Amino acid sequence: MVKFGSKDLARYPFLREALSYVTKNEFKLEDLDNPDYFHLVDRAKKKIEQYVFEGKLGYQIDYNKTHEIIVQEEVIIFLISLLLIKSVSIDSVTKKFALLESMRFEKYLVGDLDSSNHDDGKIKLILYEIFKDLFKTTIYLEVNIYNFYKIKIDDYLDHPIAFQEREWNLVNRTLNKGFVYLDSNEIVRLFRNELYLLIIDRIKRMNPKKVPEVIVTISNSIKNRWEKMYPPIRPSGHHDITPPCIQHIYDQIKNGENLSHPARVLLGTFLIYSNKSMEEMLDMFKRLPDFNEKITRYQLEHLAGKRGNTKQYFVPSCEKIKLNNLCFETEVCKGISNPAQFFYRKKF
């Protein structure tokens, strides 16, 4: 095991080495009702509220302390966050938190990989440890090209993204002597899903003997606020039947899952066709883990023909939806070639 003694470790509180900073002081989650921890509970609460209700990555590590205290505090805040999310116990909250928290770690990883060429060796060891221990992949620094890394082709192909998107296909990658070459952004992107799953897994594993009162109180308030903000999705519009493809998207949103680009276009055009107001549409999209109001508003206006070339986009045909694997055809789709036709079904 690599020994770390640096405050850099505070950026990766999920590592064993970071955890050892609190276990050696016999920290227990059951002790969180002790007022000595309230300032850390408060920081975890604020971080979660920013992630979950504002979709913002505003959390900052407080570096104005000794190295040991910085690492201890970051690990404890991380553990408190996991416990709070586990106590809220709403799938979509868990997924949104995991996405934003993994994006925070991604940012640190990209920054550290970018500077690891000229930094001391310690941070490099942390990074290699993360990839090797957690993701079971060895990454190598390419000494001949500035800030480039390489991984074995077999390891690369273990990642579904290598088959999902054209830019990630091997034919579009730089290869040499059995290695794939990637810059820091790409290497972190390759592991995006693993990082996200790691957070989900850590949340599931939170199992204290007794959940402290302070955690119960805060998690109840987060839960109530979430349920007020996001009441159950009801089928919209003046039609009786929701097309199965659209219902599937509603279910994904309800479960806190992210949507692919084609699914967003389908939902957006369908809602526009249903005569939904911008606020009603935003209300639907804001449930997505990576919601950004400015971008979503722009995209919806673009689909509605209020931006750019003023062309309004119509709901895609069933044929096109099938090509994007978004069709969930049932009996009700008989004779339908576009989900928009469901609007007229009621009249007959």
Q: Would you tell me which residues interact with ligand SF4 (CB under 6 A)?
A: 243-245, 318, 321, 327-329, 333, 336, 339
Nearer to ligand SF4, 173 or 239 (CB): 239
CA distance to 77, 235, 245, 273, 315, per residue, from 238 (Å): 47, 9, 18, 11, 17
Residues in the annotated binding site for [4Fe-4S] cluster? 245, 318, 327, 333
For ligand SF4, the closer CB: 36 or 240: 240
> In whole angstroms, how close is the CB of 227 to ligand SF4 at the nearest point?
29
As to burial, measured by CB atoms within 10 angstroms (0-12 exposed, 13-18 middle, 19+ buried), residue 116 is buried
Angle of CA points 185, 190, 196, to nearest 5°: 105
Query: HSE on the CB side for 165, CA within 13 Å?
Result: 10
| Beta carbon of residue 340, minimum distance to ligand SF4 (angstroms, whole number) | 9
Q: State whether the Cα torsion 188-172-146-152 is positive or negative.
A: positive
Cross-strand pairs, 151: 180
| Minimum separation from the CB atom of position 257 to ligand SF4 (A) | 18
Cα four-point dihedral sign 286, 289, 295, 299: negative
For residue 233, the minimal CB distance to ligand SF4 (Å) is 17
Short-list 160, 153, 166, 154, CA closest to 190: 160
CA distance 299 to 323: 22
**Residue 334 carries which DSSP code?**
T
Task: For residue 173, give Cα distances in angstroms to 149, 165, 220, 284.
Answer: 13, 12, 48, 37
Locate all alpha helices (DSSP H) within 89-169, ordered by sequence: 91-115, 121-129, 153-157, 161-164
Q: How far is the CB of 345 from ligand SF4 (least distance, A)?
A: 11
CB of 333 to ligand SF4, least distance (A): 3
> What is the SS3 assignment for 310?
coil
* Rounded Cα–Cα distance for residues 32 and 213 (Å): 8
CB of residue 264 to ligand SF4, shortest distance in Å: 15
Q: Which residues are annotated as a binding site?
A: 245, 318, 327, 333
Q: In degrees to the nearest 10, what's the CA dihedral of 305, 55, 12, 252?
A: -70
Nearer to ligand SF4, 131 or 343 (CB): 343
With respect to ligand SF4, which residue has the nearer C-beta, 266 or 281?
Answer: 266
Q: What whole-number distance in Å separates Cα of residue 299 and Cα of residue 113?
A: 33
The residue among 135 and 328 lying less far from ligand SF4, judged by its C-beta, is 328
Nearer to ligand SF4, 63 or 348 (CB): 348
Query: With respect to ligand SF4, which residue has the nearer C-beta, 304 or 318?
Result: 318
